[in-house]
Amino acid sequence: MQKNRCVLFLVLAIGMSKGVSASPKQDSLQAMHKSGVGLILSSNGFGAELAHTVLKNGKLVFKLDGNYYNQNFTNKAARQNETDVLLNGFVKRGSIGVKLDYHPFRNSFKLSAGFSVLLNEVQYTSILRDSVELGNIKISPEEVGTLNYSYSLNPGPYFGIGFGRAIPEKRFGFSLDLGVFYTGISGLNVMGTNMYAGISNNQTLWPYYDFSYFSMPILPVASFGINYRLGKLK
């Protein structure tokens, strides 16, 4: 019995020694991969991101991000072809996507690439502010009709450069990104009702924005981030 106890004690001691010797290795493996979160303020909305290192040296970081902004308009006064009109509608900006940040040097400079579903959408209804008088005939804005505008962006790839790390070396950090989404030319849709029924996709009738903006195949984006590193520091 005493001999069996000695053998059992020896086996347990060997097992514990192996477990203790393996723990530093496990800790070092965990230290190779870090995660972080961030709050983002960009020209395409407000949002957040989640980041995780892909390479153990921290040069390649995977990010999942999303942002959103919505602005509604109700009876907003505007000028359309020298005519006073009222606009009702909304403008939405935003995106949901994935990106890879690559840090080629030891500093915070980075190259970024990814793909996003763009939430950008514009919808307006334009109606005359005042009635129209033709001789003795007075035509109300409702009788004249409305012009309906709609615009949205296709999903597209993202390419950019920046400074700052999504996973800071310290607990907190800042980041600045400049890039573009390639969306192709989606085009602006214009449809009319009543007396405007024959009008369709007339570029001169966009009342609030420069149409050339909507004919661009790219969407430039600038963003600023406040980043937080998760887990233990070195």
**pLDDT higher than threshold 90 for residue 188:** no
Would you list the DSSP string of 105-158?
SSSSEEEEEEEEEE--EEEEEEEESS-EEETTEEE-HHHH-EEEEEEE---EEE
Per DSSP, the three-state class of 26 is helix
Q: What is the pLDDT at residue 196?
A: 79
**Distance in angstroms (rounded) separating the CA atoms of residues 178 and 194:** 45
**What digits encode the pLDDT tens for the residues 37-95?**
999 999 999 999 999 999 878 899 999 999 999 999 899 888 877 788 899 999 999 99
Name the band, by pLDDT with cuts 50, 70 and 90, for residue 33: low
CA distances from 64 to 40, 129, 201 (A): 12, 45, 36
Q: How many CB atoms lie within 10 A of CB 125?
A: 16
Residue listed under structure tokens 């981030």: 225
Per DSSP, the three-state class of 217 is coil
**What digits encode the pLDDT tens for the residues 139-151?**
888 888 888 888 8
Residue 136 DSSP class: T
